[in-house]
Structure 1
């Protein structure tokens, strides 16, 4: 293989794409495949198959059981055992399904049982209006699930409800699934549902209800209108009743013939998909008569395959059928192939007696190769961070390790923008003929700029500041401040090895720094012309950038000193993310504050439930910080009472036990988001934007910015990976109907020793042109117990 080939993993041009894991499901199959049949299916290109847990013998036994029960009821009626009005005595026994026998199943423990997706009986009806059929169905499901669990099955697929508009039936179904989770304690339960109830793609298998003529609501008078979100509503009820169980963390979605609107696709994208199932009817013949999918279907599949745990593809009723497998086995019965068979096999590049690749599998393999390659934002390392919860850093309270700094330094986009900001500041400083802090009465024309990098870490911003000075021909004095004693050692070495001792390295907390000294005047303290920091967090201010800059900005030269960053804004959007909710729920035993912790996470499998409408964007600004601040209460307080007194004066509210000198960094916002379709909120996604440098000369110059807002990052800082969003979870998911407005209240609180957030979400539905009613609200959440320490 040529070294430059795009298929060579060792080449720089290697283009990797998501892999398709394709399985086969035959809805008419009554028995599990034999070993030989299973091998034939794998040889035709499939990677796994489904197998019915029980067979037709068991089905007939259950049908006869219920038929015998009905006859017995007639006998009770003749004997007077039925009460007036022909209502059965509630104490009379109902039908009980006996345990399985070896005649009821062809599934047994084997070395490949884990590669089978065991399918429960499609004829059960957990939602039946007949209580006895519902009971029989629940018993059958429990028997099948228990036996599959015994055999070692890892996944059990359960057909979903046939209808969505019966709340009683869905509740029965959900309760039965919760019971199965206890019965099959080691297997994952997968609910097989359509993306929506598309006419013509209904389940064709008979149920016990239809066999015995029980009306299920799907007759000629059934509702004709298609409710796009009805199936999702049913799924939401099922997983809510099951308390977002991690073993119900999978669904199998049937892709429809007509791809639905984008909002429904996004809703299912946020769900924990395990299978995308595609029936034969969804494929269309191309000009050559081969199966193909529309461009809309291809785009949907390509998007879903970008998930970190990409769903498997389950092709339904596309062959080989049981009859075809039997014919293939007959062909292989002879020891040697005929010349014609051998010649045909040679043309198809396969072994004699080996079946040709299934046409549908062949087409899906073609789609696999046609997917867009992974982008720079889809490296294996970044993909591994999808929807992975990380507690936020506390850089003031903790000293970071070298490996953490190294991760930050791996993002050239951020440092390119910082270098651009410093460069623009130096150019405009000269254009505006600003004085420098090193100017003295004896030497008023001294052009040296005093540049300070506060919180230097391992020095990447120092390197960029030196590069900007060299690029613009600007003489500078540069100071690097770092409180981490271990990083301080690294900076000293870097100053000798890389910076030619041009940098003054100081081990100090920036808030306690006395200021830069003047050359040749050891007793004098100067001012800073350009202050550079990278203290921003996922929400802008959540790593205490405002508090840190308050402590050092008094060293900025006034009025011409520049802070980089100049300003930053925090933004919010309500989201649905069941994966993260289930993850946090599983942590609550070991971490009781899990639902009141703002988590840093690379959000991926989520649904932004709000839509962009005039006056109410999908992402809304919560608040802003601008530097430098001209008036600081802490400085005023310290001037009157001394620095120590500010920590001992009592206050009220969030200021209790403090002097209130950090109250100017408290914030509050109230935002309204519009949700045209019904859904559920699991929390708030937080983002930030920052103006690193705002031009002062005009002349049509644009500000130098960075952003992690989904609708702005490509324009302002494309491919920047330094910050993932922040997630403020809700203890209980908040369900809301269509045409709802979500009111979000958030506070940034402080007591002079720490900073925390509080958040609340309320749902209001419009019931008239001018009338709203509240339909739900969350608790008031507070991160005070895990606050960021100052």
Structure 2
């Protein structure tokens, strides 16, 4: 952890920031560092070091193998008098790279080998058009991985493809897939640039460039940005990401495959930054070339670089940093003293080291490391939304609650109650409702022919849990000087006991606590005359889910809204809306791909999760937002088909009919709570989506006075800070796609979703279609997901 934090996490001055774990990589290092050299690098401020797996001797041996193979083949062709056309016989054997010897490597099992990050030879060329070179490269990679794995390395960085054309990348991806089988326990990290920025390419020459010409080809994509106005050079911003997408798709989103992302000198647009943010980043690499010198002659990074690093370091598994070619140099480490000299330095050297406050023979603290430590100390501290518990929930999948069929535990209630923002807004909504009730002199339900002197507002909290909303209603009544009769309804028999205890100890028995399902409640009985059942003036509930209606708020309110006084009775919340946005989330897709082995329904479950490591693929354009409303529910419903059905059929309860929906012959009493939406999202850049992010907003209280801002809560990313900043009660919901859906640039994603219902259950169905414009008025369908349905894991209400 960084040193700029207090010791007491409960103190107001406590500020915690993500730690920087900084490594060193030198492209001129061809031998694994010795124990002394490793210690020298750590003493200069680094936390870890990269090491080559093989050395120059092995490199030359491979080159000689290739050349000798060509000579043998030419000799074989010449001896047989074959023509040029016959030289390319595909049945001729390819050379086999012999096993490693101790002359080929200086990496051996040691006490510190686990702290070294193995770096595969940058001269291999898996993408080569020459089948001999590509095959030799594949053999070399497998030999290196197997040996590094034997030595104890658990992470191996592999230089990414030097080009982004489809043939070459497919060949590279196939080699990585094979390498994963060879290194069965190691993590493979593909080193790629954020985009192909000139001047920041790999410096090492490949076998192709040394022996046969690299045969590289440039991309012709239209998604480009000018990087050199004078030369008119254009760079495809998303071509490298395309290559990565191909690699990880071939490797089936393996949990052992990561990215080492090379940060460019010119930071690209936010869309590309966000795209890489969603990927499994293990390292951020910063070459010496991207640093500039400030007025004092010290290295520094632009504000754009600092913002990018700060953003990426907010990940729960935040990337490590690797500084490239910033020293100490390989030459200086060659002169490193022996262990005997380090442990027992001469008195003169020891005395000098003490005066200079350093270790004997230790190199000076690296100025690039020093600068990165400065950035570490000056990161924005963790916010209220980045507590350790909330960070631990990043992208962690949870099954949605079924509060009607399951009784929650006290610990679950306690988590919900830890959010003051939600309850502040609820208290504000109740207080505003009470003030306007007085202002407009609305009637109160405590006044009946039998009780003409009644003055109390009749209020109920349905689904009271452990009573946080009850306490807030009492506070709102006290602050507005409003006399009330308050009812607390709770079906959970365990929470009911807790409510009774609070009523005695905290509320002076001022609350009538009832154990009942809110849908079966007979209604409030007046305190002045318990024989009289009256109506509710204000009904308060917190039945909302991550998608607004996914915890059956509409069905629950249908069953109790008949007790709300008409037309002046109030429901808090007044309304709620569901919202969608297509997203890329490789991490969750990989997680679900593993779960589906044991849970076949994993891709049909709407998961509640604190979405974090994601990329929004749609852009906000006129008429089409990045977040779009799917549907809305408003309460109380003025005309309820369910209530009408009960009245017409003389049934006191409507939750027992069985069937598959009205279209299959069941009663259809809940069809008024079915919904459907069809939304169009615009995607200027190509990409992939793994599912739909779902959010909700709610108007808790809508003022009768025109133009007055309603009391609201929201979890929409672009609205939460304005409407309910730092509210943590709800995480978003994620509707997954069974297969990732790739789309080209300038496409439109058509999202269809249904809220389906029968007499006993509610479930969702969703699908996504991709359309591309091929002319001013012509659009073609280029892809689609299958129809997903959560019916097998539906929410039960009947």
TM bucket by the smaller chain?
Answer: over 0.9
Other-structure match for 1:757: 764
C-alpha separation in 1, matches of 2:345 and 2:251: 56
Alignment partner of 1:20 is 2:20:
yes
**8 Å CA contact retained: 1:302, 1:371:** yes
Counterpart-to-counterpart distance in 2, 1:606 and 1:535: 28
Give the superposition deviation at 1:441: 2.3
Deviations 1:568-612 (A, max 9, x none): 000000001111111111111111111111011111111111011
Among 384, 399, 406, the residue aligned to 1:391: 399
Equivalent residues of 2:313, 2:319 under 8 A apart: yes
The equivalent residue for 1:769 is 776
Offset of 1:346 from its aligned partner?
3.0
2:49 maps to 1:49:
yes
Compared CA separation, residues 420 and 290, structure 1 to 2 (3 A) = same
Structure 1 residues 221 and 581, CA gap change in structure 2 (3 angstroms): closer
Distance in 2, Cα, partners of 1:664 & 1:194: 53
1:659 corresponds in structure 2 to 667
In the alignment, the residues of structure 1 paired with residue 427 and residue 571 of structure 2 have an alpha-carbon distance, to the nearest angstrom, of 14
* Residue 122 of structure 2: aligned partner: 122
What is the distance in 2 between the residues matched to 1:338 and 1:288? 35
Cα 1:755/1:651, change in 2 over 3 Å: closer
Q: 2:424 aligns with which of 416, 419, 423?
A: 416
Return the offset for 1:727: 0.4
Distance 2:371 2:187 in 1: 30
- Quickly say closer, same or farther: Cα 1:323–1:517, change in 2 above 3 A: same
In the alignment, structure 1 segments of 5+ residues that lack a partner are: none
Secondary structure, aligned partner of 1:531: strand
Answer yes or no: is the 8 Å Cα contact 2:656–2:760 preserved in 1.
no
Deviations 1:520-549 (A, max 9, x none): 433321111100000000000000000000
> d(CA) in 1 for partners of 2:781 and 2:374?
51
| TM superposition shift of 1:653 | 5.5
SS state at 2:63 partner: helix
* Equivalent position of 1:186 in the other structure: 185
Following superposition, the deviation at residue 86 of structure 1 comes to: 3.4
Alpha-carbon distance in 2 for matches of 1:497, 1:243: 58
The answer to which of 542-551 and 318-327 deviates more is 318-327
Q: 1:283 aligns with which of 258, 279, 291?
A: 291
Equivalent residues of 1:31, 1:52 under 8 A apart: yes
Task: State the distance in 2 between where 1:126 and 1:589 align.
Answer: 33
Give the direction of change, closer, same or farther, for the CA distance of 1:9–1:407 in structure 2 (3 Å limit).
closer
Q: Which residue of 2 aligns with 1:514?
A: 522
Over residues 309-330 of structure 1, what are the superposed CA-to-partner deviations in whole Å (9 max), with x where a residue is unaligned?
1100000111112211123427
Map 1:195-594; keep pairs closer than 5 Å: 195-217=194-216, 225-248=234-257, 250-329=258-337, 333=341, 335-337=344-346, 339=348, 342-343=351-352, 346-347=355-356, 349-594=357-602
Corresponding residue SS for 1:212: helix
Q: Equivalents in 2 of 1:463, 1:652: separation in Å?
A: 41
1:144-182 Cα shifts (integer Å, max 9, x gaps): 111111222110110000011x21110010011111111
Tell me how far apart the structure 2 counterparts of residues 184 and 637 of structure 1 sit (CA, whole Å).
65
Give the CA deviation at 1:451: 0.5
Residue deviations 1:482-527 (CA, integer Å, cap 9, x gap): 0001000101111101110001111111011111112243332111
* Equivalent in the alignment of 2:176: 177
Change in Cα spacing, 1:87 to 1:60, as seen in structure 2 (3 Å) is same
For the structure 1 residues 46 and 138, does the alpha-carbon distance in structure 2 shift closer, same or farther, using more than 3 Å as the test? same
Whether contact under 8 Å (2:661, 2:667) holds in the other structure is no
Deviation at 1:112, TM superposition (A): 2.0
Give the corresponding residue for 1:715.
722
Take 2:722 and 2:313, find their aligned partners in 1: how far apart are those partners? 26
CA distance in 1 between partners of 2:41 and 2:752 (Å): 56
SS of the residue corresponding to residue 530 of structure 2 reads strand
Does the CA-based 8 Å contact 1:5-1:11 persist in structure 2? no
Q: Distance in 2 between matches of 1:510 and 1:443?
A: 26
**What is the Cα-based RMSD across aligned positions, in Å?**
2.1
For residues 489 and 219 of structure 2, what CA distance do their matches in structure 1 show?
A: 78
Q: Deviations over 1:445-478 (max 9, x none)?
A: 4210111000000000000000111111111100
Residue number in structure 1 paired with 2:639? 631
Q: Secondary structure at the match of 2:531?
A: strand
**Residue 732 (1) aligns with residue 731 (2):** no
Note if contact 2:300-2:371 (Cα within 8 Å) is conserved in structure 1: yes
Q: Normalising to structure 2: TM-score of the pair? A: 0.95
In the aligned structure 2, how far is the partner of 1:602 from the partner of 1:220?
A: 37
> Are the equivalent residues in 1 in contact too, given 2:194–2:262 (CA < 8 A)?
yes
Distance 1:278 1:747, change over 3 A: same
SS at match of 2:443: coil
CA distance in 1 between partners of 2:778 and 2:321 (Å): 47
Q: Deviations over 1:277-330 (max 9, x none)?
A: 000101111111111111111111111111111100000111112211123427
> Which ranges of structure 2 fall in alignment gaps of 5 or more residues?
222-231
2:219 and 2:236 in contact (8 A); partners too: no
What is the distance in 2 between the residues matched to 1:515 and 1:220?
A: 71
Change (3 A) 1:11 1:475: closer
Distance in 1 (CA, whole Å) between partners of 2:419 and 2:318 is 26
**Structure 1 CA distance, aligned partners of 2:274 and 2:194?**
11
Q: Distance in 2 between matches of 1:664 and 1:306?
A: 43
CA contact (8 A) 1:654 1:749 kept: no
Q: Secondary structure of 1:419's match?
A: helix
For 1:433 and 1:445, locate their aligned partners in 2 and report how far apart those are by CA, in whole Å: 15
Count of paired positions: 783
- Taking the aligned partners of 1:719 and 1:101, their CA distance within structure 2 comes to 60
Residue 644 of structure 1: how far off its partner (Å): 7.8
> 1:337 Cα shift?
4.8
CA drift of 1:444 comes to 3.1
In the alignment, which residue of structure 1 is the partner of 2:225?
none
The SS at the match of 1:724 is coil
Summarize deviations over 1:550-582 as a string: whole Å, max 9, x none.
000001011111000000000000001111111
Structure 2 distance, partners of 1:361, 1:517, is: 72
Q: Tell me the alpha carbon deviations over residues 653-697 of structure 1, each in whole angstroms, 9 at most, x when there is no partner.
A: 665363100000000000001111111011000000000000013
SS of the residue aligned with 2:29?
A: coil
Distance in 1, Cα, partners of 2:418 & 2:403: 19
Higher mean C-alpha displacement, 566-575 vs 290-299: 290-299
Q: Would the aligned equivalents of 1:432 and 1:697 in 2 still touch at CA under 8 Å?
A: no
For each residue in 1:367-394, what CA deviation from the matched residue of structure 2 results, as whole angstroms up to 9, or x when unmatched? 1111111111111111111111111111
Deviations 1:187-235 (A, max 9, x none): 0000000000101111111111111123422699999531011100000
- Contact 2:617/2:689 (CA < 8 Å) preserved in 1? yes
Tell me, in whole angstroms, the C-alpha distance in 2 between the residues paired with 1:288 and 1:636. Answer: 80
Other-structure match for 2:151: 151
Q: Cα gap change, 1:87/1:511 in structure 2, threshold over 3 Å: closer, same or farther?
A: farther
Using the TM superposition, give the Cα deviation of residue 10 of structure 1 relative to its aligned residue in structure 2, in angstroms. 6.0
SS of 1:625 mapped into structure 2: strand
1:82 and 1:89 in contact (8 A); partners too: no
Who is 2:226 aligned against? Answer: none
- Once the two structures are superposed, the pairs formed by residues 633-648 of structure 1 within 5 Å of their partners are 633-643=641-651
Q: 1:331 to 1:184 in 2, by over 3 A?
A: closer
Please state how far the C-alpha of 1:84 moved relative to its aligned partner: 6.1
Q: Secondary structure at the match of 2:770?
A: strand
Q: Give the deviation of 1:131 after TM superposition.
A: 0.9
What is the DSSP-based 3-state SS (H/G/I as helix, E as strand, rest coil) of the residue aligned with 1:329? Answer: coil
Q: 3-state SS of the aligned residue for 2:532? A: strand
User: Which whole-Å CA distance do the structure 2 matches of 1:116 and 1:360 have between them?
Assistant: 20
Indicate conservation of the 8 Å contact 2:349/2:360, yes or no: no
